[in-house]
Amino acid sequence: MSATIALVDDDRNILTSVSIALQAEGFTTRVYSDGETALKSLIDNPPDLAVLDIKMPQMDGLELLRRLREKAAIPVIFLTSKDDELDEALGLAMGADDYIAKPFSQRLLIARIRAILRRTEHASPALAGQPNEPVALPIERGRLTMDPQRHRVTWAGAPVTLTVTEFLILETLAQRPGIVKTRNQLMDAAYHDDIYVDDRTIDSHIKRVRRKFKQADPEFDAIETLYGAGYRFADD
């Protein structure tokens, strides 16, 4: 079954051209020209991934993502303008999985979509029991429990909802408590296919993960920063 990609952009030329390109690659597409219309559809009938433009009238991409994250954990790629560094940082802090600056190559967008979908499949219960697929065992580290097959995370029994990228970064840290992981190592764990992201992207994801755990436990401090080195999960 082909993956379904939702495209939300007020530029109909982009919607048409990207939709055609994705369909040529075997994807099913759904297109929306405004955030308000897209929101209900994305919640009621979630796609496999959503591509959201940030700059839209009425409800922009940031507000759409904020409201979407209250109901669903759909992987999201943001489309941003080249000069909108603040919007990029806000988008990542709010839980976007990736971003691409306009004007963009459709080939690059398709590569990013495929990479995120593969990461989603890695965390999907559908993989359990498939031939030649290693079964990822649950991870228990103190009050943290991670179930990769079900993409479930709890802290002291309280559920914590993570995006695919956030899950993979935390999984990499939790697999070896006390061991420092550089930003490059975390990039390699969360982003495949030689896709480049900068240090700020990883830092934004870490901040987002910490914020989510602090909502479950205000005293959460299990992810430690080693300045100049990287991050580690506390070795209790």
State whether 60 and 151 are in the same domain.
no
Cβ neighbourhood burial of 191 (10 Å; 0-12, 13-18, 19+): buried
Q: Domain containing 154 — which CATH number? A: 1.10.10.10
17 versus 198: the higher-pLDDT residue is 17
Question: Final residue of a domain: which of 122, 139, 154?
Answer: 122
pLDDT tens-digit series, residues 5-30: 999 999 999 999 999 999 999 999 99
**Would you say 148 and 138 are in contact if contact means Cβ atoms under 8 Å apart?**
yes
At residue 190, does pLDDT exceed 50?
yes
pLDDT given at position 235? 78
The pLDDT value recorded for residue 230 is: 93
Same domain, 101 and 205: no
Range 138-166 average pLDDT: 88
Instruction: Please state, for a pLDDT cut of 90, what percent of the chain lies above it.
Output: 41
pLDDT, tens digit, 9 for 90 and up, residues 70-87: 887 788 998 887 555 555
Residues 55 and 148 reside in one and the same domain:
no
Domain count, the chain: 2
> Residues 109-125: what's their mean pLDDT?
74
Q: What is the pTM of this model?
A: 0.60
Clarify whether residues 50 and 146 are in a common domain: no
- Inform me whether the pLDDT recorded for 159 exceeds 70: yes
Instruction: Please report the pLDDT score of residue 197 as a whole number.
Output: 59
pLDDT tens sequence across 85-99: 555 566 666 677 888
Q: Are residues 102 and 205 in the same domain?
A: no
- CA-CA distances (angstroms) from residue 108 to 167, 168, 195, 212, 220? 23, 22, 9, 30, 37
pLDDT tens digits along 21-67: 999 999 999 999 999 889 999 999 999 999 999 888 888 888 998 88
Query: Does the pLDDT of residue 134 top 60, yes or no?
Result: no
Same structural domain for residues 116 and 213?
A: no
Q: In this predicted structure, what is the pLDDT of residue 192? A: 58
> What number is the average pLDDT over the span 170-198?
80
> Cβ(102)–Cβ(17) under 8 Å?
no
Q: How many CB atoms lie within 10 A of CB 165?
A: 28
| For range 135-158, the mean pLDDT | 86
Give the structural domain span for 105. Answer: 4-122
> Which CATH number characterizes residue 33's domain?
3.40.50.2300
Residues 153 and 63 in one domain: no
CB burial string 60-98: b at 16+ within 10 A, e below:
bbbbbbebbbeeebbbbbbbbeeebeebbbbbbebbbbb
Instruction: Tell me the helix, strand and coil percentages in the chain, rounded to 5.
Output: 40, 20, 40
